[in-house]
Amino acid sequence: MEINAGTYYLRQLRADRHIDDRPPLMEAFADPTHRKYVLNYRLRTLDEATEYVALRAAQWAGDERCSWAIAEPTSGRLLGEVGLRELDLAAQYAEATIWVHPTERGKGIATTALNAALRFGFGGLGLTEVSYRYEESNTASAIVAERCGFTLVGPEPTPAPTGERLIRWHRTS
């Protein structure tokens, strides 16, 4: 499912002869800030990146998670990734996730892409609630949550694996 996101477009992650997202994925996942806040994956080799692209496709197919590459419109170059995870179509709920390639941050890409994914979640999937969580020190993430219309819920009872407080925001349809 492709989505227009203003200056950008959202598409499935790809590793084929026309577009290969694996090199920019590996660059992003090697970045210290990315590694600090995105804990669940290691993409150090082309094989690990291949598995990551395949995992995201399988999660789409299983209605577990919608994930989009945020793409530059003329070249299709990967600028980041946005998603709706913990997808529960029956409960009409998901949790939003976002990261932006280190060389592309601070240009409003996260705000634009997350807003487009939320429009799809509420309008296309019929979700009624989307949450967004981040470690307390993640100032950029807090700014994005506020700009995307989320409301602060507060700290989660259980800290993140890093030991930091996890802050929850949510948005309803």
Ligand X SMILES: CC(C)(COP(=O)(O)OP(=O)(O)OC[C@H]1O[C@@H](n2cnc3c(N)ncnc32)[C@H](O)[C@@H]1OP(=O)(O)O)[C@@H](O)C(=O)NCCC(=O)NCCS
| Interaction site with ligand X (CB under 6 A) | 33-34, 37-38, 98-100, 105-111, 134, 138-141, 143-144
**What's the closest the beta carbon of residue 6 comes to ligand X, in angstroms?**
12
> Residue written as tokens 């009624």?
128
User: Taking every pair of C-alpha atoms in the chain, what is the biggest distance, in angstroms?
Assistant: 46
> Which strand ranges, in their side-by-side order, compose the sheet holding 129-135?
3-5, 8-11, 66-71, 78-88, 93-100, 129-135, 166-172, 151-155
Return the number of the residue (67 or 141) whose C-beta is nearest ligand X: 141
Return the number of the residue (40 or 90) whose C-beta is nearest ligand X: 40
**What's the closest the beta carbon of residue 138 comes to ligand X, in angstroms?**
5
What's the rounded Cα separation, in Å, for the pair 5 and 10?
Answer: 7
**What's the closest the beta carbon of residue 14 comes to ligand X, in angstroms?**
20
**What's the closest the beta carbon of residue 17 comes to ligand X, in angstroms?**
28
Return the number of the residue (126 or 149) whose C-beta is nearest ligand X: 149
What's the rounded Cα separation, in Å, for the pair 156 and 153?
Answer: 9
Return the number of the residue (100 or 118) whose C-beta is nearest ligand X: 100
**What's the closest the beta carbon of residue 18 comes to ligand X, in angstroms?**
25
What's the rounded Cα separation, in Å, for the pair 171 and 52?
Answer: 28
**Which regions of 89-148 does DSSP assign to beta strands (E)?**
93-100, 129-135
Return the number of the residue (1 or 143) whose C-beta is nearest ligand X: 143
